[in-house]
């Protein structure tokens, strides 16, 4: 009888470990999805600010139509959503990150144009939009970092025991892709005076 009690205790402990590991993995995957939703929400905020910024600059710099068209195209590509299924797809993540980098580059060109118009730089509406955009870019960076932290925790959990065992036997979850720097960000910027 004593052996059956010990065996029942061992089975109970193993079942509890499996239960908590299983639910823990699912919770960590949900944290990745929530962090990704925050990245998308912040990127949407940036995309929502862009038309206002462009229309304000257009009033001063009407001959810069090519840049305005590039921003409009980049914004359209950058606002294409990525599904949570694609968070495990390196090619889809790279395409998404490339579209974000193109939008950032187009916005930089817009702000360079604004530098050529002193009246525009003094316009309060433009200044407010520029400050909102700067704040949003900071939020984008924080959201990306939080997403990468959630990915790190999740990927580690499905690679370490007991998570690996639970994942291999029951869940079959895939590693999620990190949000990586664009290729252009790896180049040293050239500064000349």
- Whether pLDDT at 176 is above 90: yes
Kindly list the structural domains of the chain, giving each domain's residue range(s) and its CATH number in brackets, ordered by start: 2-179 (1.20.1440.20)
Compute CA distances 125 → 53, 119, 165, 192, whole Å: 9, 12, 57, 31
- Angstrom distance (rounded) from CA 120 to CA 124: 9
- Angstrom distance (rounded) from CA 98 to CA 181: 9
Query: Cβ of 183: how many Cβ atoms within 10 Å?
Result: 11
Q: What confidence score (pLDDT) does residue 53 get?
A: 79
Per-residue confidence band for 191, with pLDDT thresholds at 50, 70 and 90: very low
- The tokens describing 87, both together, are 């968070």
- Pick 128 or 184 by higher pLDDT: 128
- Angstrom distance (rounded) from CA 166 to CA 158: 8
Compute CA distances 38 → 64, 97, 147, 174, whole Å: 33, 15, 8, 21
Across 18-27, 64-73, 104-113, 151-160, the highest mean pLDDT is recorded for 151-160
Q: What confidence score (pLDDT) does residue 190 get?
A: 55
Lowest mean pLDDT among 77-91, 107-121, 137-151: 107-121
- Whether pLDDT at 3 is above 60: yes
- Angstrom distance (rounded) from CA 99 to CA 55: 22
- The tokens describing 140, both together, are 């984008």
- The tokens describing 136, both together, are 């949003």
Question: First-to-last CA distance in the chain?
Answer: 87
In tens, the pLDDT along 42-99 reads 888 888 888 877 787 777 666 677 777 788 888 888 888 888 888 898 888 888 888 8
Q: What confidence score (pLDDT) does residue 192 get?
A: 46
In tens, the pLDDT along 123-143 reads 777 788 888 888 888 898 899
Question: DSSP character for 1?
Answer: -
Compute CA distances 69 → 31, 63, 107, 109, 168, whole Å: 37, 12, 12, 12, 49
Report the predicted TM-score, pTM, of the whole model to 2 decimal places: 0.73
Share of the chain above pLDDT 90, in %: 27
């Amino acid at each position: 009888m004593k052996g059956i009690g010990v065996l029942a205790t061992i089975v109970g402990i193993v079942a509890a470990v499996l239960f908590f590991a299983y639910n823990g993995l699912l919770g960590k995957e949900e944290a990745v999805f929530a962090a990704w939703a925050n990245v998308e929400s912040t990127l949407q905020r940036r995309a929502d600010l862009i038309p206002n910024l462009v229309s304000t600059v257009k009033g001063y710099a009407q001959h810069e139509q090519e840049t305005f068209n590039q921003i409009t195209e980049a914004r359209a590509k950058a606002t294409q959503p990525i599904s949570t299924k694609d968070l495990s797809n390196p090619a889809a993540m790279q395409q998404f990150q490339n579209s974000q980098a193109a939008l950032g580059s187009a916005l930089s060109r817009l702000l360079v144009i604004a530098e050529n118009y002193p009246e525009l730089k003094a316009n309060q509406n433009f200044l407010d939009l520029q400050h909102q955009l700067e704040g949003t870019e900071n939020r984008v960076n924080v959201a990306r970092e939080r997403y990468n932290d959630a990915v790190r925790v999740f990927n580690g959990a499905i690679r370490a025991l007991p998570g690996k065992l639970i994942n291999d036997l029951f869940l079959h979850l895939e590693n999620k892709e990190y949000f990586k720097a664009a290729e252009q960000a790896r180049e040293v910027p050239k500064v000349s005076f």
